[in-house]
Amino acid sequence: MTTPSPLAATLSQMPALAELLRLFLSGKHLNRVAEPALWAELEKQEDSYISLFAALGFDLRLDARGFAWFHSGDASSNIGKTSRHLALLFMVIFDAQANTGKALQSFTDWLIDNDWLIEVYKQQQDLLETEGFNPDTLTELLGRACTLGFAVAEPAGWRLLPAVYRYLDHFEDLALAAKDDSDEGGSMADGDLDIPDDEEDS
């Protein structure tokens, strides 16, 4: 009787390996709420997946708030452009919700529909037009956000997924830094927001 090799034994405990690899290589984020079965599989063998992907040259990161992704420190101009567009989209969404008194940490509960998106556009029209955005652009960006695992489409609109914490964390850091600079009489430079830069552009 042939004894399984250590590698074969390890791989046998990772039945979702191929599916996870395809998902992360596409630039998508895995979210616990959107794909609970796949998330449970990843969590169950977290150390093994991290080690194997590291051996293949990938930096798998899991956030306890319920999302995972392949992190990359090298950003092409296209990747940076995609991430900055998403950052602007999420920023105006958060700003609009903050103006209504909603807690930003509850963003996964928000339903974003077309009518509300048009209202967001009207509130930030000058800024969005400067960036070349129109209401259709925001809709297209939400579709891109779905592709990358930042949102999910529903019959009545879209919902943001936990991976958006990657942006919200940066927004809150920026707000804190701006407050500190204001207290010290300084000012924030335009490029001080280190937004996620490993989103692929296709």
38 & 52 share domain = yes
- pLDDT tens for residues 12-44? 788 899 999 999 999 999 999 999 999 999 999
- Amino acid 196: pLDDT: 67
In this prediction, residue 195 has a pLDDT band, given cuts at 50, 70 and 90, of: low
In this prediction, residue 174 has a pLDDT band, given cuts at 50, 70 and 90, of: confident
Q: Note whether 151 and 180 are within 8 A (CB).
A: no
- pTM here is 0.83
- pLDDT tens for residues 141-164? 999 999 999 999 999 999 999 999
- Exposure on the CB side of residue 40, measured as CA atoms within 13 A: 4
Of 35, 29, 145, residue with least CA distance to 93 = 145
- Amino acid 6: pLDDT: 61
Round to whole Å and give the CA distance between 90 and 104.
11
Residue at a domain's end among 22, 53, 71: 71
Round to whole Å and give the CA distance between 162 and 109.
10
Domain with 28 in it: what CATH number? 1.10.10
Residue at a domain's end among 27, 44, 71: 71
- pLDDT tens for residues 45-99? 999 999 999 999 999 999 999 999 999 875 544 457 888 999 999 999 999 999 9
Round to whole Å and give the CA distance between 75 and 83.
10
Is the pLDDT confidence value at 201 over 70? no
Query: Encoding tokens for residue 15?
Result: 């039945």
Residue at a domain's end among 71, 99, 117: 71
Other C-beta atoms lying within 10 Å of the C-beta of residue 107: 21
Other C-beta atoms lying within 10 Å of the C-beta of residue 172: 14
Round to whole Å and give the CA distance between 165 and 103.
13
Round to whole Å and give the CA distance between 7 and 181.
53
Long-range CB contact pairs, 6-10, < 8 A, 24+: 10/48, 10/52
Overall number of domains in the chain: 2
- φ/ψ of 174, rounded to 5, equals -65, -45
Q: Note whether 198 and 61 are within 8 A (CB).
A: no
- pLDDT tens for residues 88-136? 999 999 999 999 999 999 999 999 999 999 999 999 999 999 999 999 9
Which residues span the domain enclosing 145? 77-192
Region 189-197 average pLDDT? 47
